[in-house]
Amino acid sequence: MSGFSSIGKRLLRFEDRRFLTGQGAYLDDIVAPRCLHAHFLRSPHAHARIRAIDAREAAWLPGVRGVYRGADLAAMAKPLRMAPPIEGLKPTEIAPLPVDKVRFQGDPVAVILADDRYIAEDAAELIAVDYEPLPAVTSFAEALSPSAPKVDETLDDNLVAHQSFATPGCARVFAEARRIVTRRFVQNRVTHAPIETRGCLAIWDEGRQHLTFHVGNQAPHPYRTQLAARLGLSESQVTVIAPDIGGAFGQKIALYREELACAALARATRRPVRWREDRMENLAAASHAREDACVTRAAIDAQGRILALDVAIEEDFGAYCFFPGNYLARVVALMTPGPYRIRDYAYDVRVALTNKCGAGPMRAPMSMTSWIMEGTLDAIAAELDADPADIRRLNMIEARELPYVTVTDQRLEDITPRETLEGALAHLDYAAARARQRADRARGILRGLGICVVVESTTYGSAFYKSAGIPGSGHETAVVKVEPSGAVNAAVGLMASGQGYETALAQAVAEGLGVDPATVRLQIGNTDVAPYGMGSRGARGATAGGGVLYLASQALGEKIRTIAARELGLNDIGELRLAAGRIERRLAGAWEATRLSLTDVARIAYLDPLRLPPGLEPGLEVHKAYEPPAMTFSNATHVCEVVVDARSGRIAIERYIVAEDCGTPLNPMLVEGQQIGAVAMGLSGCLSEHVVYDRDGQNLSTTFADYHLATAVEIPHIEIVPMHTPNRSTPAGVKGMSEGGVMGAIGALANAVDDALRPLGIRAEALPLTPIALRRLIRTATRRSAP
């Protein structure tokens, strides 16, 4: 990881100052004159027909400028058709706003435009909607029962996606296996809960016939493509501008119906229209995630070697497909074998629609992957009374087996699972921890250790999407410019929501070019300025975004050196470099300053082009696209030590360790921030978060007093052990990261709690592990065993 001058430096963030002083410009901070405020009236029913909507009284309220229903919006915008040609996936369609039926509690049924938000909300109370309530489907099992009401009436049933796979020998291995270990895992429905809710500001320019749409979105260009198409506009008639984003985590990728409605109504009313979602709407109606259950079966030999693995996943996808139904669970199935030698494998993935808020990707969309694999390894260890670390060692691929192609055709290369496993265990002093556990168990104290090895698929290349049967492209684009004054502007098709791109990506540009990162200005989030890119999703920012910026900057650096060589009368640019904005020349092995600076070269390139070497275009600007490998992985091992209080069910996390290999870190401080933040999100989801629906489909968790995000008291101190090694196939050896922490935390914590509960003969198969849930489990177990 040496040889870099900007990459790998612990630079403090350039973006901090505006956030620390209250000068950040988030969506709702943008002012537009004559603006109307949108408010959405939402369904109180989980499932109901809309018979009639009477908005007359609301429309008379002073300050109300209009009330629009689904039928009105249908004339202004097109539906979202989700029909990628994928086997096992049923096509679905979402209207701009529901017209004749609502499908979950919180579904928008009408939108009010008023002079302010207070009036708009008053008006909502005056609208009378005549509903005919229908029976609601509130679980996966219910959804698939033959008598279930149909959530989407255009489909034959509620099974929206079904895909399966098996190696030819898999069934036989199971048939002949001496031992089969089975384990069930139930993940809780959670939601992203960025502290800034959703919102938008739509400004229609009637003269230019142009829409400027401000929205805190992670992928502004794909968003623009869809927004323009659904409004019947060309992509040159729409500019999407993403301001500072107060957290996104996957919730700010889709074009939501509320946003589409604001855009359509700005055009229809010729007035700016803004929407600020409130927290209740965000928790009830934005996007949810992760409600899936999985059963694994492992055929093993007497030592605990896995001979075959079978994984059955069921996902409750909610009422609408803003993403293809197989988008998340399918990747879980593909990635589950992880770094283990599994030659026979089968999976079955079923995704059902229910009357709940639609699901989408949330930081670590494949969050369950590591938990189900590592939990299965723990089940094998328990079955054989073996040490869980030894079972992992027995099954894990070794460095000399790399590159290793998994049974689902994932090529594992430049990863270090064994190293991080041993690194994390050593950091904990595993033997001492097991000794603590034995001593505590003898005294009736429930102490547990959890291990979770993570192989994080960070950067999805186009080849992966194609072979996995999910829609998408993995390339990324960048423009790097040195302006006539020597100032550096760099643009890329990503959008930040807290990752620190303005610093980390500036470091990638600075490295490629040979300038001080502080002189690089990153231009992101404006579709007119940045080139068309695929946006920020997964953990692709550093590899795809940093990678393409680095490559573009290197190419621009070469042009700069070519011009400088001619000025200095040299033939070979290899003897020149740019460092801190000065052209340097190698003389007798040492770098020495020349008379030229970057500014001198820039002036020639722009203002005196006749001096340029033959064949070079005027100006200093490079546009580049980069297609990353099919898949890039980082990897880690999480280890967690807990004590469960048998009386209260409370979990005390005494140690939490992450040994991680994220490749070349662009900025190690930011990498550590992402690691800790991801672990915290995983722990929070595992400890306390839960979107709860009752049997009628009423959401019972629509305030932060009911939906519990972990605070500074619940999140422990997290110990990070950096074990980075570069990737040889990506620019600068970057691997990317930011989601693995979530995966590892869920697995490590759940495994630790199971380990703690082992003396009681129970395990906690369902998340979240709240004190109430654990106490109930423990009580049932101890009552059962009582004489």
Contact status: 771 vs ligand FES (CB under 6 A) = no
Shortest Å distance, C-beta 498 to ligand FES: 5
Residue 705 interacts with, from other proteins, ligand FES, none (CB under 5-8 Å by kind):
other proteins
Residue 244 touches which of ligand FES, other proteins, none (CB < 5 to 8 A by kind)? other proteins
CB of 221 to other proteins, least distance (A): 21
| Cβ-based nearer residue to other proteins, 485 or 703 | 703
* Helices and strands of the chain, counted as H and E runs: 21, 32
Sign (positive or negative) of CA dihedral 150, 154, 155, 160: negative
Q: Please choose, from the candidates 707, 745, 536, the residue with its C-alpha nearest in 3D space to the C-alpha of residue 192.
A: 707
- Of 498 and 722, which has the nearer Cβ to ligand FES? 498
- Nearest approach in angstroms of CB 279 to ligand FES is 7
What is d(CA 771, CA 708) in angstroms, rounded to the nearest whole number? 13
- Please state the closest distance from residue 743 (CB atom) to ligand FES, in A: 21
Residues in contact with ligand FES, counted by CB under 6 A, come to a total of: 3
120 contacts 32 by C-beta, under 8 angstroms: no
247 contributes a contact to ligand FES by CB under 6 A: yes
Quote the least distance from Cβ 238 to other proteins, whole Å: 25
DSSP classification of residue 731: G
Say how far residue 621 (Cα) sits from the centre of its chain: 32
Figure out which of the listed residues 20, 195, 435, 593 binds ligand FES, where binding follows CB under 6 A. Answer: 195
Residue 681 binding result from other proteins, ligand FES, none, given CB thresholds of 5 to 8 Å by partner type: other proteins
Q: What is the DSSP-derived secondary structure letter of residue 759?
A: G
- Could you say which of other proteins, ligand FES, none residue 673 binds, taking C-beta under 5 to 8 angstroms by partner kind? other proteins
Please, which residues bridge with residue 116 across strands? none
CA dihedral 206, 211, 216, 217 (to 10 degrees): 160
Report the interface residues with other proteins, using CB under 8 A: 12-13, 15-26, 28-29, 118, 192-197, 244-247, 249, 276, 278-279, 497-500, 669-670, 672-673, 676-681, 703-705, 709, 711-713, 715, 717-718
* Token output for 2: 């040496």
Positions in 495-534 near ligand FES (CB under 6 A): 498
Residues 272-310: b if buried by 16+ CB within 10 A, e if exposed: bbbbbbeeebbbbbbbbbbbbbbbbbbbbeeebbbbbbb
CB burial of 672-689 (b: ≥16 within 10 Å; e: otherwise) equals bbbbbbbbbbbbbbbbbb
Asked whether position 673 contacts ligand FES by CB under 6 A, the answer is: no
Burial class, 787, CB count within 10 angstroms (exposed 0-12 / middle 13-18 / buried 19+): exposed
Give which of other proteins, ligand FES, none residue 25 binds (C-beta under 5 to 8 Å, depending on kind). Answer: other proteins
Q: Least CB distance from residue 249 to ligand FES, whole Å?
A: 10
3-state secondary structure 337-397: CCCECCCEEEEEEEEECCCCCCECCCCCCCCHHHHHHHHHHHHHHHHHCCCHHHHHHHHEC
Do 446 and 666 form a contact (C-beta atoms < 8 A)?
A: no
For residues 604 and 597, what is the distance between their CA atoms, to the nearest angstrom? 11
Q: Which amino acid is at 462?
A: S
Name the minimum Å distance from CB 654 to other proteins: 14
Residue 44 binding ligand FES, by CB under 6 A: no
783 binds, among ligand FES, other proteins, none (CB under 5 to 8 A by kind): none
The yes or no reply on residue 84 touching ligand FES (CB under 6 A) is no
For the CB of residue 769, give the shortest distance to ligand FES in the complex, in Å.
24
Residue 634 DSSP SS3? strand
Closest distance of CB 19 from ligand FES, Å: 8
Q: What spatial distance separates the first Cα and last Cα of the chain, rounded to whole Å?
A: 62
The residue with its CB nearest to ligand FES is 195
Complex with ligand FES: residue 380 or 494, whichever CB lies closer: 494
Pick between residue 469 and residue 673 the one whose CB is nearest to other proteins.
673
Q: How far is the CB of 688 from ligand FES (least distance, A)?
A: 17
Residues written for the chain:
787
| Contact between 315 and 329 (Cβ < 8 Å) | yes
Give the interface with ligand FES as residue ranges (CB under 6 A): 195, 247, 498
